[in-house]
Structure 1
Amino acid sequence: MAAVFYDGFLLLAIWFVATALILPFNAGEAFNSGQYFYPLYLLAVAFGFYGWFWTHGGQTLGLKAWKIRVADKAGGKLGWRRAGVRFIGGLLSWAIFGLGFAWCLIDKEGLAWHDRLSGTRLFFLDGPG
């Protein structure tokens, strides 16, 4: 969970930059609740962040710091489709009060809902990430 929070802070910073990039297209004004593009844009930015790291080495900065790697069940690299399923599954895992993440504590293979859904798993590395 520490890696999740670590990456959360990094994603928050990326969202600040992403918001600054599109503010000129909203006349420099803050986005309001009636603008549906903005939350979808932030969701796409989040998928781009996680998807790129998962498909290019399997480690976000948080996962690298804690020596964890995301891969398919055989240990292979993830493709964009599997990363997308994992991302959507992760959203569902959070949406139900994080129960999807806590599930790994009682799962016989230690997998969270999004791991089961996407056919992925976390590998804990012994050496440098």
Structure 2
Amino acid sequence: MPNPAVAPALWRRLFSIVYDLLLLMSLILLAGFIFIGITHGRQTPLIRAIYQTYLFSVIGAYYLWFWLHGGQTLPMKAWRIRLVAADGGALRPRQAFIRFLAAWLSLAGIGILWAFVDRDRQFLHDRLANTRLVTVPRS
């Protein structure tokens, strides 16, 4: 059971993000190969738009599946981090979806920089989605 009083250290969350990005690169490569196989490598503005939407959906499916089925991606398990609702309860699909969309702010650094000024050291996307990251105790 996670300890809601103990937020993971910022460095642990950042390492988990880097680890997640490595896994996502593999997933995106696989998804890209599948898409190229289906489209036979054709490139038109419409196909590029569909491809970008497809990759966005693949990334979203990755996060939403793991967040809604245990609250952890593989890197989050490795770093003993779990995503829960702000009240410590189970994450709802709407919260996971809002968190995923709001997390894109972190690409500009906004979401992560927010943790330096937040009283609980939570990311901006966690505040917006009413979620929080908690430390999972060693078993």
Answer yes or no: same fold by TM over 0.5. yes
In structure 2, the partner of 1:65 is 78
> Structure 1 runs of 4+ off > 3 angstroms?
30-34
3-state DSSP of counterpart to 1:121: strand
Residue among 113, 129, 136 paired with 1:118: 129
Checking the alignment, whether the CA contact within 8 Å between 1:31 and 1:38 is kept in structure 2 is no
Change (3 A) 1:31 1:53: farther
Q: TM-score, normalised by structure 1?
A: 0.89
Aligned residues: 125
Deviation of 1:32 (Å): 6.5
Letter in 2 for 1:58: G
Q: Matches of residues 21-40 of structure 1 in structure 2 within 5 Å?
A: 21-27=34-40, 29=41, 31=43, 35-40=48-53
Indicate the structure whose relative CO is greater, using CA pairs within 8 Å and at least 6 residues apart.
Answer: 2
Structure 1, gaps ≥5 residues long: none
Tell me the C-alpha RMSD between the 2 structures: 1.6
1:99 lines up with 2:99 in the alignment: no
Checking the alignment, whether the CA contact within 8 Å between 1:15 and 1:42 is kept in structure 2 is yes
In structure 1, the partner of 2:95 is 82
**Matches of 1:30 and 1:75, distance apart in 2:** 47
**Matches of 2:94 and 2:113, distance apart in 1:** 24
- How many percent of aligned residue pairs carry the same amino acid? 35
Change (3 A) 1:30 1:60: farther
Structure 2, gaps ≥5 residues long: 1-13
In structure 1, the partner of 2:5 is none
